[in-house]
């Protein structure tokens, strides 16, 4: 998905903020979300996470929920995407 590729740097900024406080910080956050016909996220959940930091997970979830994936036309589309954060 091009949107994910283009928007990932905004997630990296969040990750870097947490890494400054904890240099060894890393993790994998798997998000499951539904995209409406208009391209907006209509629902989202954290399917799993290895970050051990609920605040970080929520910030990632909030940022991705703001993304627009472009109008797809008919119906909703549900996707599951892993985001890996490490150096």
What would the pLDDT profile of 54-75 be if each residue is shown by its tens digit? 999 999 999 999 999 988 778 9
Residues of the chain with pLDDT under 50: none
Q: What is the pLDDT of residue 31?
A: 98
Residue with tokens 């969040």: 14
Q: What is the pLDDT of residue 7?
A: 81
Residues sharing a CB contact under 8 Å with residue 29, sequence separation 6 or more, in sequence order: 46, 48, 49, 50, 51, 56, 57, 60, 61, 82, 83, 85
Strand partners, 76: none
Q: Write down the pTM of the prediction.
A: 0.91
**How many CB atoms neighbour CB 16 within 10 A?**
12
User: Does the domain made of 2-85 have the CATH classification 3.40.50.140?
Assistant: no
Residues sharing a CB contact under 8 Å with residue 4, sequence separation 6 or more, in sequence order: 81
């Amino acid at each position: 998905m091009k949107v994910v590729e283009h928007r990932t740097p905004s997630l990296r900024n969040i990750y870097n903020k947490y890494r400054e406080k904890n240099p060894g910080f890393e993790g994998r956050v798997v998000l499951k979300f539904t995209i409406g016909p208009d391209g907006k996220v209509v629902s989202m959940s954290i399917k799993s996470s290895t970050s051990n930091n609920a605040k970080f997970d929520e910030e990632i979830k909030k940022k991705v929920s703001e993304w627009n994936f472009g109008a797809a036309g008919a119906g909703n589309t549900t996707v599951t995407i892993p985001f890996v954060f490490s150096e």
